[in-house]
Structure formats: C-alpha cells, structure tokens
Amino acid sequence: MRKGLLTIAAVGLLTTGGLTACSEDSDPGSTGSAKTPKIGVILPDSKSSVRWETADRRFLEEAFKAAGVQADIQNAQNDKTAFQTIADQMITGGVTVLMIVNLDSGTGKAVLDKAKSQGVATIDYDRLTLGGSAQYYVSFDNETVGKLQGEGLSKCLTEKGAKNPVVAYLNGSPTDNNATLFKAGYDSVLKPKFDSKEYVKGPEDAVPAWDNAQAATIFEQQLTKANGKIDGVLAANDGLGNAAISILKKNKLNGKVPVTGQDASTEGLQNILAGDQCMTVYKAVREEAKAASDLAIALAKGEKKETGQTVKDGDRDVPAVLLTPKAIYKENVKDVIADGYVTKEEVCAGAYAKLCADAGIS
C-alpha cells in the first residue's frame, strides 16, 4: 500500500478552506449542489464482527444526524444478491452518495460502476474494492494492523518463554482485500522468524467469509494435524480468535497458547482480561466513521475534499484516509473503554468485574 500526496486538477475548480467545489457535470461520479443530499451506506454483515452494527452504524448515524443529512444505512448480511438489491434500491431511491463495505471486489465493483453510471458519488469504507471506481477509500493502515498482531504474538510467546514455537495462522476471508493486507503485515514480522528457524510455521488456513463457526472447525483440524503441538495462534480478528480459544478450552490449552485478535470487541477484551487472548488491535471506528461521513457529506453537497493520501489500485491512485490502529494488551484494555468504544458495564459484567478491577478499570 503506497501513501502519497493526492493532487487534483485545478482547471475549472474553486478551492476554499481545503474543499474543492465542483460543478454537477465535472465528474460522472460527482454530485451537484442542486440535488438533495442523501447518503446510502451498505454494511457487510453482523456475523463476522459485531463492530458493524454496534459501532459503525452507531457512529455513522450520529455523524449524519449532526450534519442534518438524510442517510439510509442497511446491512447485506453477507448476501451478495441482497447487497446488489440494496444498492439498486438506494440508487433508484435517489441517493447522491453511496458508501459500501464490499463483500468481495467483484460484487463491489459492479455496484460502484452502476452507481457511477447513474451519477452517484461513491466511497469504499473500510475495504478497498480492487478494480473499482470509488472516489475515496477510508480505512485504517491495514498492513500496520497485521504488523501489530505479529509483534503482539511474538511478545506474548517471549513472555511465556516459548522455544521454537509452532505458530498457526487463521487468516481472514480470501475475498477480503483487508485480510491480504493484514497477512502482509504479520508476515513481515513472523516470516523472518520462520526463515531463521526461531519459530516453526504451523498450519495455515483462510476462513471463508470470516465465519466464526467455520473457524472453530478449521482450528480443531489444525490442532489435530499438529498432534496438539501449536504454541501460538495468529488469528486475524477477535471472532476467529475466540473460535480458536473455544477449541483450546476443550483441550485445556487456553491461557497456555497465545492467541491474537482485532477489533477490540467486548468478547475479545474479556478474553484478554481472562488471560485466554494475548492481544487485540483497536481501531477507533468513531474516527473512521467521522472521516468517511465528512467526505460523504461534502460529496453530497457537490464538493470534494483533499485527503493528502492515496492508495494504489492497479494503475489508479485512490484518494484515501488511513487511520492509525493501536495494540491492546491487558494493561491498556482500559483505553478502549475510556475512548467510548465499549462500556465498562459490558466488559466488566459478572465474573469479569474482579478481572477489570485487577486491570485498573474503575
């Protein structure tokens, strides 16, 4: 992923305060100020990660409401046909901006291209649609997310005094470009250790559609294949991590085998407090939603914003906003709560109350 300066042609454009006003016909995918702003958002599912409904929907709704802009937020529930149907309905219903989290790049590209042909501005949210036509991409630096996971697993293995540990991978969905970027990040940390024989590369599988139930089955097969000898698990998110932990519990290995995660979910944070999960990666979704909603609102009003960053998609430089993720261990679980992403009441319920107190969560 390359970051660089975004340059926008100045001919015929009026720049004021970082906003570049554009006419209604200056770009097939731009919107004119004469249109009534209406923003459509398609979320991917509610099964792979709870964040889509508990965080992204909430923060996007708050941002659009504060701006007084009409918005329609729907969830495709991992159904490609439903994804395309929702998009068609939103375009027919008069959205001036369409923001999507694609289920795969093929479906995402078809939706983005149709929106563009209808004069609807588009934004890729969280996941880049490869070969697509979105005018902006808003996400986190996803290679850094993976790097933090790799560094976290290495840290936890060192703390456990592991010698030549066997490390298994539970990668994210093969149709999600983010999963590719996460893997590139953690490979940058762990592959040199495999090459030097410091670590041993164990079983590796991608989990279709980030499905947690499938992840548990896959990890149980990995553990069997490795004759029970897995010393660390690089799980690409908290859901996959919890699936691995459920199998480790069955084999009385939980707490002995470090497991990574991502998303700082309530469940993931509780697993960390209990000692069953090594770490997670916190992505401040409030900031991601704010950045995306700011761009969407500007586009809906017929304006464009410079982002100062781009990512490469083939030969195309896509204007981007890439936010910085943060590694979370037991000692800084409280930071996620303090940021308002989850509540103390959620994380510290029942048996976790004492664990929260021990971790300095008051």
3 state SS of 171: strand
What does the pLDDT average to over 344-358? 96
Give 222-276 pLDDT, tens digit per residue: 999 999 999 999 999 999 999 999 999 999 999 999 999 999 999 999 999 999 9
What does the pLDDT average to over 112-132? 97
Query: Is residue 12 in some structural domain?
Result: no
Query: In the numeric block, which tokens belong to residue 124?
Result: 């890729």
Q: Say what the pLDDT of residue 171 is.
A: 98
Please tell me the distance from the alpha carbon of residue 243 to that of residue 251, in angstroms, as a whole number.
13
Range of the domain at 346: 142-283+327-359
The CATH number covering residue 47 comes to 3.40.50.2300
Do 135 and 59 share a domain, yes or no? Answer: yes
What letter does residue 55 receive in the DSSP assignment? I
Give 178-194 pLDDT, tens digit per residue: 999 999 999 999 999 99
Do 170 and 279 share a domain, yes or no? Answer: yes
Do 218 and 347 share a domain, yes or no? Answer: yes
Do 177 and 223 share a domain, yes or no? Answer: yes
Q: Which amino acid is at 311?
A: V
How, if at all, do strands 316-323 and 310-313 pair?
A: antiparallel
Please tell me the pTM assigned to this model: 0.88
Cα distances from 278 to residues 150, 255, 261, 271, in angstroms, run 11, 9, 8, 8
What letter does residue 160 receive in the DSSP assignment? T
What letter does residue 282 receive in the DSSP assignment? E
- Nearest-CA neighbor of 37 among 73, 67, 61? 67
Do 271 and 294 share a domain, yes or no? Answer: no
Query: Is residue 230 in some structural domain?
Result: yes
Query: Is residue 5 in some structural domain?
Result: no
Do 149 and 203 share a domain, yes or no? Answer: yes
Give 22-80 pLDDT, tens digit per residue: 333 334 444 444 567 899 999 999 998 999 999 999 999 999 999 999 999 999 999 99
Q: Say what the pLDDT of residue 34 is.
A: 52
Query: Is residue 1 in some structural domain?
Result: no
